[in-house]
Structure 1
Amino acid sequence: MRLLAALAALMAMLAGAAPAAAQNRFWLQNNTGQTIVAANVSPSRITEWGPNILTRGPLLPGMQVWVEPGFSDCYLDIRVRFADGTEDGHLGVHACTLTRIAFGSDVPQAAPPPPRPVEHPNPSFTFVNLSGEPIREIYVSLTSQRNWGADRLGPRQILPPGASMPITLPRTGVCTADIRIVYMDGRVMEQRNIETCSIRSFAWR
């Protein structure tokens, strides 16, 4: 009796140590609108295709077939051939995390490229002093802005007659700018609503 009990315990231990059943079984779904006449499944680690798994005949559109691979690999390559001779395939599918693999409308499509950012016209320009007088302060802002901002020349700087300097403005879609000038004697002059997107330089007179 003890011998029989020991044998029974040993068999139970061996049964418990047996590998679990493969989890790579799945439904193969045909959502293509075409008849699939052959399908092959193989582990992704090898290059040869397995035999045709459609042993009961072609897989019609909208139909599915239960697939039980004869190996335990989770990563599978799947190839199908349609009635017109064309082929399609999924490579490196993690079948152990899926219950259904579809060809057709359920196949994830590549995400469309992101929309290109809108490129607004450039309102920046070169300011040219043709007033015949030195300028000690220059303020330029888009008409959409509520204040003049900082002096473009900076402290202790002047723009002599005939000289020029670049004026950089943000691309917001606004193409009109206001300009305010302060001369050496303190006189202030302004020009408003100047269209700058279509010009490269603006002559101040």
Structure 2
Amino acid sequence: MRPLPSRLTFLTGFLLLLASLVLPPAGPAWGQSGDPSFNLVNRSGQTIREIYVSPSEDRYWGHDLLQSQVLPDGGSFPLRIAPSAGCLQDVRVVYADGRPEERRRQDTCRISQMVFGTGAGSAPASGASQANPSFNLVNHGSAVIREVYVSSVREDNWGEDRLGEQVLPPGRHLAVRLPAGDCLNDVRIVWMDGRNEERRRLDTCQMINLVFR
């Protein structure tokens, strides 16, 4: 005959069965939805005219997500981000007066909204203590700018053309994204007629707009 199970074995099996009925199935940690999309809320007191969102490891901001729209004070704008972009995002807004504001390395999978302004509920500004060298390159000349290069003074080459296949017409500006804390930068532009112009050793942490005429 098969021996009867001991009292200890029976008790252990009973506790395991009870745990499987009570404990929830394993899943993502609380607040980690895996979806980096969120709503950007404007409580700044003025209109937001541009919004950029880019994965933190990317070098460029990409396109203005508002395009021809603006986000008035008190309004919100849904930002739909593909899960493949990851949770760590950098966010940049430009206000109607031209002043930019950035939030770096935000875990947007943990939030449903990000507030710009004094209202409650804004995401913590990670890395806010570091100087911000990003700036707007503004074309106030009468010709089109066809190439833009920005490089740290520590680099030996200009790197890629930040306009890519685009151009910068008169009256328009380009949001130039740079690593936080790296303030001294060289800037080079090429006009449509082939003329080039350079600005060396600029402290871009101390500027909002860099104007070429």
TM range (shorter): 0.3 to 0.5
The higher radius of gyration belongs to 1
TM-score between the two structures when normalised by the length of structure 1: 0.40
Scaled by the length of structure 2, the TM-score of the pair is 0.38
